[in-house]
């Protein structure tokens, strides 16, 4: 029985995270929902933070921006961690939890330096069970917005029990 407790606790936490129903800012004629939650940083251009089609949630490329004051976290682990946490926070707002991540795509400006940091942050987020990591693509690019170092894009599943609450 005690083996199941963490699972149950996790399910309860997941359910709590979905309590506050997030209203879409826009729903297209075909039913695509667009979200820009108010308690997050404002987008910096003609794009939105996330969209939902059916039970699938797509989150825009997240950088290591503190949502509290829209400033960038220090370069290195804090920046990388904040980028992933921003993605996780948006997923939570939409009713998905980290274990329902379908895919991540990570862009870094220095594979040698930042890939190990991404790996470390993913272990922090998903734990060290090698069976739980979402599929990932990681790409080194010449430049990111604001000359940033990392950007992570996530796709999440809202179906099953959490989807009913969204
Ligand atoms: C989107 O909706 C949220 C409330 O759900 C609101 O706080 C936010 O300002 C809206 N964003 C825009 C760009 O209108
Ligand atoms: C985001 O934009 C809204 C209106 O578009 C504004 O009221 C709000 O203060 C802005 N938030 C931040 C953190 O700049
Ligand atoms: C922005 O917020 C973060 C975390 O909330 C804090 O560590 C940082 O010092 C703040 N930066 C500024 C310029 O206020």
pLDDT digits (tens, 9 = 90+) for 95-136: 999 999 999 999 999 999 999 999 999 999 999 999 999 999
Nearest protein Cα to ligand 1, atom 8: 38
* Proportion of the chain above pLDDT 70, given as a percent: 84
Structural domain for 67, as ranges: 2-163
pLDDT at 10 > cutoff 60: no
The confidence score (pLDDT) of residue 44 equals: 83
* Rounded average pLDDT over 12-24: 61
Stronger pLDDT, 12 or 131, i.e. the higher one: 131
Q: What is the pLDDT of residues 52-104, one digit of tens each?
A: 999 999 999 999 999 999 999 999 999 999 999 999 999 999 999 999 999 99
pLDDT beyond 50 at 20: yes
Q: For the chain, how many structural domains are there in total?
A: 1
Chain centre to alpha carbon of residue 92: 8
- Per DSSP, the residues of the chain read -GGGHHHHHHHHHHHHHTSSPPPPSEE-TT--EEE--TTSPPPSSS--SEEEETTEEEEEEE-SB-TTTSPBPPTTHHHHHHHHHHHHHHHHHHT--GGGEEEEEEEES-HHHHHHHHHHHHHHHH-S-TTSPPPEEEEE-S--GGG-SEEEEEEEE--HHHHTT-
Choose the residue to mutate in 25, 39, 42 for probing ligand 2, maximizing ligand atoms within 8 Å of C-beta.
42
pLDDT of residue 105: 98
More confident of the two residues 84 and 7: 84
Q: How does residue 160 score in pLDDT terms, banded at 50, 70 and 90?
A: low
Ligand 1 atom nearest residue 39's Cα: 7
| CATH number, position 116 | 3.30.1330.40
Q: According to the model, what pLDDT value does residue 28 have?
A: 98
Which ligand has the nearest atom to the CA of 47?
1
């Amino acid at each position: 029985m005690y083996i199941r407790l963490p699972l149950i606790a996790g399910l309860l936490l997941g359910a709590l995270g979905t309590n506050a129903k997030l209203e879409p800012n826009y729903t297209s004629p075909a039913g695509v929902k667009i979200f820009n939650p108010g308690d997050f940083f404002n987008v910096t251009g003609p794009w939105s933070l996330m969209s939902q089609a059916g039970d699938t949630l797509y989150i825009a490329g997240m950088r290591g921006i503190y949502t509290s004051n829209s400033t960038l976290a220090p370069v290195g682990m804090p920046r990388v961690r904040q980028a992933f946490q921003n993605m996780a926070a948006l997923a939570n707002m939409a009713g998905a939890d980290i274990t329902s991540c379908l895919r991540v795509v990570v862009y870094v400006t220095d594979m040698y330096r930042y890939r190990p940091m991404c790996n470390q942050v993913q272990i922090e987020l998903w734990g060290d069970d090698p069976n739980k990591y979402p599929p990932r693509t990681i790409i080194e690019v010449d430049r990111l917005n604001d000359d940033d170092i990392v950007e992570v894009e996530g796709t999440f599943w809202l179906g099953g029990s959490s989807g009913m609450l969204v």
